[in-house]
Structure 1
Amino acid sequence: MVTPRISYAHLLAEPNPKHVDSLLKFFEKGCSKRGTGGFGVEIEHLPVHNADDTAVSYYEPNGIETLLKRIAPYYDGSKEYWENGHLVGLGRKGLSVSLEPGGQIETSIGVLHEPQELNALYGEFRSQVDPIVEELGFRLVHYGYQPKSSFADIPVNPKDRYDAMTDYLGRVGEFGPCMMRCSASTQVSIDYVDEADSIAKMRVGTAIGPILAWFFRNSPYFEGKLNTYPLLRQRMWDFLDFQRTNVIPGLFDPRFGWEDYARDVLCTPLMFADLTHTPEAVDAGATGKELHRVAFRENAGEVYPDRELNDYEINHIISTHFNEVRLKNFIELRHWDSLPVERAERLTEIIASLFYVPANRIRLESYFDGLREEDVFEAKANLQAHGREAAPYGQPLDFWREFLGLEGLLDDIPGDPKHPEVFQG
């Protein structure tokens, strides 16, 4: 293990060594469970009323709760997830359905071994859900942000964690409630074989992510008006809460390793504590809001017992960080707006080519050798400032289109007012 770097988080608190070891073992398990070539894909959907394109809420008659109950027979009854007496998630082999704070419906698909498998599994989901949502008077659309509704018009779903998140994110940054209630994304997860492989992929993913975000942007609207931000999703996350978003601190330091990442996430305030799978809290009789509470200043060592952490606790701690590339026991690439499945499949094909074809990996790693965090910040700012005329890392977008194998991609947002299918599902 390399000597840990010094970061601002380490100056604030020293993590519990047992917790650090827990995360290192968790990352190591990712190596033993996977070879190379697997994918996970998450596509979030915005439910909107057919009548006026406003957001559908969880609680309204014929809303999201009704939809989940109607599609439940297609799923494994042992994988239903309930909270506060409400159905909030479903699962079956190869696909799960869950909810984001504003009622966004997320499908998690995988593990896939070929990008083309996505279309079949996702198509099965839509063939089951679309007739039901049509009966209920709404549809699921693919945009990075609600087309008509404001965050202020959308209540959070009945998960206790989202009340705690609202308490926290409503007080920091600029876009917390907007992100929670109105945004939707596409994420692609890839595997790794060892520590060095994972760090190399995280660096490359962080470097090229903003460029791919430009070519796969899909947010024509923001707060009921035309969106003026070239990359709305990036703008929201960059100005959300800097201690848990943007580039992982120290990632491009040659000494960076798993221990550095573990120490960073363990030292950062949790935002909110999830004790639902902490036996000490459950056995003590804690319930409801006590198991999900705001943790403005408390880090993992101040919330969880002095022992090795279980997998649920580890996943929660890491999930309170929203870096554009996130390490669990797989690597999440999190840059993209919600995409129709055809574009999501194309994105997955590109990710497969760049990360799983050795010649392409070598070419990318060589090109970005010596890259600094500051260079990534500059590239992102360049895209936001100049749009189509941007030159991230000193190269025009036409260069990146060829270099990253993006030939044939539209340079307009599908659904832009220039197109007739403005509210296409």
Structure 2
Amino acid sequence: MLAKPNAKHVRSLVNFFEQGAKPESRDGFGVEIEHLPVHNSDDTAVTYGEANGIETLMLRLREYYDESREYWQDDQLVGLARDGIGISLEPGGQIETSIGVVRNSSELGAIYEQFRREIDPILDELGFRLVNYGYQPKSCALDIPINPKRRYAAMNEYLGHIGQYGPCMMRASASTQVSIDYANEQDAIEKLRLGSAVGPIINYFFRNTPFFEGEVNHMPLRRQRMWNFLDCQRTNLIPGLYEDGFGWEDYAVGVLGTPLMFADLTHTPEAAGLPVERKEFAAFRETADDVYPDRELNDYEVAHILSTHFNDVRLKNFIEMRHWDSLPIERAQRLMEIVGALFYDPARLAQLADYFDGIGEADVFAAKATLNAHGDAAEPYGNSLEFWREFLGLEGVMADVPGDAKWSEVFQA
């Protein structure tokens, strides 16, 4: 039997969750959209280190962002930020915009449009563009080098060996994520459960991965499948989520009992005098107990530990829903509206909770499997996709497709 994690560390995570609760006002959203950079000439992936590549783009963008919030690693610029938006790099050079807190889709659109007004002229000069697909349209994952973050080098070594899709997820995939507030522990657990249950269905209607490894993609929830089979310790559903009595402490114990994969001691006072290689290093066997001091953890340490888990829906000091492929801004706005209608309207949330009362982990696994296997004919949780279109308010939502092809034709190919 595994030893229970350090009680001070467990309490630190629970405190972090408690501090994130918003009992009075629950109407905020955070939206992250990852973009795939591709050459205009042949649609292949643009890399960080190539001439006029991602590094050049980041350096050209600096003037629009707060100099005090730049993120450099080994003299290479890998992150930018200002009020309302942050720009970061995913492992394969994907450009991620983190936008929030916003209250409605118009606010999201305005911030994103400003980002595009600044970046698009630079992209035109450099000869590449940003596309919103769940996977690179032309390049294969192993042809794309990892960008210069020590965290990603460790992830590449670990996830590249432990799961089937590690290189694919890291180097060539891109997502849209929507974060929401919670009022208290009960509200958070309910939203984690319901978000995990309906996420694959909503994902089906917003699916946007027409290509995979240079070929037409025949699997509607391709990105979802990559995450499902990546690392059973830290992806897919939260272990135990649907068990009676599951709470914040259970979540904290599960996270803390898993190897970190990558340790970050850059904000740990006790490590201040250590060389950088001893502050940031691969931790394939070490848990937080092995790495961090025997004391309550600070917010940076807690946030890092939580960031090493990639469940479909994960808990930080907000709830992050991670199911969806990268989407153009108009579709991301529509997705945000649907998430808000389902999770911020008390009547709709109660309706969802009543419908899914009694479901378990196996039911969610089955829903994912049937959507991938049967496409438009799937009946997740025993109901047709037309039922779910109406029940979840998805009228008018259609998946993007490559060119003039229809997904139903792709399924039959």
- In the superposition, the TM-score normalised over structure 2's length comes to 0.96
Shift of 1:250: 1.1
Check conservation: 1:34, 1:191, Cα contact below 8 A: no
Per the alignment, residue 41 of structure 1 pairs with 31
Take 1:417 and 1:293, find their aligned partners in 2: how far apart are those partners?
47
Whether 1:418 and 2:408 are equivalent positions in the alignment is no
**Which among 185, 188, 201 is matched to residue 195 of structure 1?**
185
Whether 1:215 and 2:202 are equivalent positions in the alignment is no
Structure 2 CA distance for partners of 1:34 and 1:276, relative to 1, 3 Å: farther
Whether 1:328 and 2:326 are equivalent positions in the alignment is no
Within-5 A mapping of 1:278-317: 278-283=268-273, 285-287=274-276, 289-317=277-305
**Which among 8, 13, 19 is matched to residue 3 of structure 2?**
13
Take 2:177 and 2:374, find their aligned partners in 1: how far apart are those partners?
25
Per the alignment, residue 164 of structure 2 pairs with 174
Per the alignment, residue 409 of structure 2 pairs with none
Shift of 1:346: 0.3
Shift of 1:290: 2.8
Deviations 1:308-340 (A, max 9, x none): 111111111111111000000000000000000
SS of aligned partner of 1:131: helix
Take 1:387 and 1:95, find their aligned partners in 2: how far apart are those partners?
36
Per the alignment, residue 397 of structure 1 pairs with 385
- Matched to 1:286, the amino acid is P
Shift of 1:142: 0.2
Check conservation: 1:24, 1:262, Cα contact below 8 A: yes
**Which among 266, 275, 286 is matched to residue 265 of structure 2?**
275
**Which among 8, 16, 32 is matched to residue 26 of structure 1?**
16
**Which among 130, 147, 154 is matched to residue 157 of structure 1?**
147
Per the alignment, residue 318 of structure 1 pairs with 306
Shift of 1:35: 2.2
Within-5 A mapping of 1:14-413: 14-31=4-21, 35-283=25-273, 285-287=274-276, 289-410=277-398, 412-413=399-400
Deviations 1:127-168 (A, max 9, x none): 110011010000000000001111111111111111111111
Check conservation: 2:136, 2:172, Cα contact below 8 A: yes
CA RMSD of aligned residues (A): 1.2
The alignment of Structure 1 onto Structure 2 pairs a total of residues equal to 406
Structure 2 CA distance for partners of 1:221 and 1:18, relative to 1, 3 Å: same
Shift of 1:33: 8.8
Shift of 1:228: 1.8
Which blocks of at least 5 consecutive residues in structure 1 are unaligned? Answer: 1-10, 420-425
SS of aligned partner of 1:170: helix
Deviations 1:242-300 (A, max 9, x none): 111111111111201000000000001111212222222232x221x332222222111
- Matched to 2:196, the amino acid is T
Per the alignment, residue 7 of structure 1 pairs with none
Take 1:25 and 1:15, find their aligned partners in 2: how far apart are those partners?
15
Which blocks of at least 5 consecutive residues in structure 2 are unaligned? Answer: 407-413
Take 1:119 and 1:16, find their aligned partners in 2: how far apart are those partners?
44
Take 1:404 and 1:344, find their aligned partners in 2: how far apart are those partners?
16
Take 2:153 and 2:101, find their aligned partners in 1: how far apart are those partners?
31
